[in-house]
Amino acid sequence: MADSTSGDLNGSFNDKKESTSIKPRVPSMEEQSSTFGKSAIAVLLLSLLVYVYRGNFLGFRKQPQVVSLDGRYGFGRVSEPAVEFTIDTTKRDAIVEAFKHAWSAYERDAMGSDEYYPLSKKGSNLVDAGGIGYTVADAIDTMQIMGLQEEYQRARDWIANNLTFERDGQFNTFETTIRVLGGLLTAYHLSDEDPIFLEKAKDLADRLMPVFDTPSGLPRSLVNLAQKKGYDEPQMPNIVSTAEAATLQLELRYLSFLTGEDEYWDKAEGVRLTSELGRPGLNVVQVMRVIKATSLPSGLAAIYMSAETGVFLFSEIRLGSRGDSFYEYLLKQYLQTDKSEPMYLEMYRNAMEGIHTTLVHKGVNNGLIYTAEVHPDRLPDGSISWRLAPKQDHLVCFLGGSLMLGATTTGLVGTSVSVPPLPDELTETGQRDWKLGYELIETCMDTHKTATGLAPEIVHFYTAEDGDVSDKKRDWYIKGNENPAAPSYDARPETVESLFLAYRLTGNQKYRDYGWQIFQAIEKFCKVDEGGYTSILNVDDANSERLDKMETFFLSETLKYLYLLFSDSSLLPLDKYVFNTEAHPLPIFSP
């Protein structure tokens, strides 16, 4: 891992105490749930929402729904009825109740703790010096979006009165940024700019800044918030995860926009060619430009970089752990600043090209499309050979929805697109990305065909090298003995995120059906009667052992995306917001 990565990927393969209110841009609790409001008001609001929808969003114009001419990919044609986005009140209320069931248990047993263990009914903190509100900061905007005023007020009061970052211990830079900083920034936006959230966000960001003090400008993986000092992971000196380094930008750029202080933006993005962005006086070289300068010819990125030199290290190329959000944020950074920064469009397009030409493969039995990994081998002559690994993490399931969003924002022939898009409204590249996104969502849903209806952390795909596997019912299998974590379900959000995006972009009911299937499985196998939700150890065992932990992203992402899936498209419209990788919606702005 100490060697820099070089070589041609086209080469050979071996195969938030005063009373506050929630900002009205998000409908209130009474508006959002028939359980909490009068039915007449609910009917009126529903009618108004349908009426409001008849405007434009995401640059899309309302069009008849279609299926593609060949019956695949969800493209449109003009002969079908128009898409109507309505609220599925019954299902959405059920998701709200799930959140309340989870949150009330945490609040009862572990309020303020970073993490929660629902079976043992206790919490813990990430460092001995105390917690930094991981769960509270991560979940508070879900309360705002769902209109849970009482829960929100208590969480806001805890943040105002108890949250401190004066903790002498090492925290993960990436996780602290996406969960805590991201959560505080969204809470600020949705609370009609309650100053306590921005105050806490700025305090945290100021403590994070020293992680960028490296020779390359790439951030250290760990930060001591009390010392305001960056550290490497002990087992990886001077090594930086590409995804972690490249997934701090949305939060820090929005904080710069709010405060007018360029330092956060500069550190995360890295401005060397000031004329390109039209922002004079900036002359630092930081993360994204370092990555762009050292990108592999394919547009892909190895999962590790050197904090000293800024070059990629001898390591795998994958869309899963330590690689995933690098690709996710290329598109989101371009959209966040209203498509004003072409560098991100270029990097996004190059990366998608590399994915298509190098990582996309087809299952040998049912033809499911998946993305593989490539692993490097050092040959005797010093050159690198890239070896195919037909393995896909659940984390990769963000890509389906991301590609469909990218197709309808970066792959347009004109300036708008229908819902769903007509094929001739997209460029050839836009059509290619849409189709791949569509297929990847189907593959990710296929991995839910288990004894529990839940998908494993990791699946492997059969290849021609496995010989005749025609007797197998699936294109994929779980290698449980090799990696004990592979069969587990950790309530991850990536598939439901893609379902949310796909539904917003097509209006196709099947994506809601898919989401409801997943939610029902979560209720059956992960819900704890006394409160909270767990992970399970083996998705292919209906009597699987439970894992005593409720992940913060279950509250911040999984339930939020499910709630939005069954909401009207006027709630957090895609032309007004980008979601960070922890599902905290940040407003699109012009720099």
Which backbone phi and psi does 275 adopt, to 5 degrees? -65, -25
Q: Cα(193)–Cα(149) distance, rounded to whole angstroms?
A: 16
Give me the count of residues in the chain. 591
Contact 553, 138 (CB under 8 A): yes
Contact 474, 455 (CB under 8 A): no
The answer to whether residue 439 is catalytic is no
**Cα first-last separation, the chain:** 38
- Tokens 């960028």, residue located: 212
The answer to whether residue 233 is catalytic is no
The answer to whether residue 175 is catalytic is yes
Q: Is the peptide bond prior to 420 cis by the omega test (within 30 degrees of 0)?
A: yes
The answer to whether residue 529 is catalytic is no
One of 141, 433, 457, 490 is an active-site residue; which one? 457
One of 3, 175, 446, 548 is an active-site residue; which one? 175
Q: Work out whether strand 229-231 and strand 170-172 pair parallel, antiparallel, or are unpaired.
A: unpaired
Task: Indicate the burial class of 86 (C-beta count within 10 angstroms; 0-12, 13-18, 19 or more).
Answer: middle
One of 324, 328, 341, 475 is an active-site residue; which one? 324
Residues sharing a CB contact under 8 Å with residue 76, sequence separation 6 or more, in sequence order: 63, 64, 65, 66, 67, 68, 418, 419, 420, 421, 422
Q: Which two tokens stand for residue 318?
A: 């994958």
Contact 568, 49 (CB under 8 A): yes
- Looking at this protein, which amino acid is placed at residue 267? K
Q: Cα(4)–Cα(10) distance, rounded to whole angstroms?
A: 18
One of 109, 494, 557, 582 is an active-site residue; which one? 494
Q: Which two tokens stand for residue 101?
A: 């069931």
Q: Cα(485)–Cα(53) distance, rounded to whole angstroms?
A: 43
- Phi-psi group of 129: left, alpha or beta (phi > 0 → left; psi -120 to 50 → alpha; rest → beta): alpha
Does 581 appear as a known binding residue?
A: yes
Task: Indicate the burial class of 424 (C-beta count within 10 angstroms; 0-12, 13-18, 19 or more).
Answer: exposed
Residues making up the annotated binding site for Ca(2+) are 581
Residues making up the annotated binding site are 581
Which residues are known catalytic residues? 175, 324, 457, 494
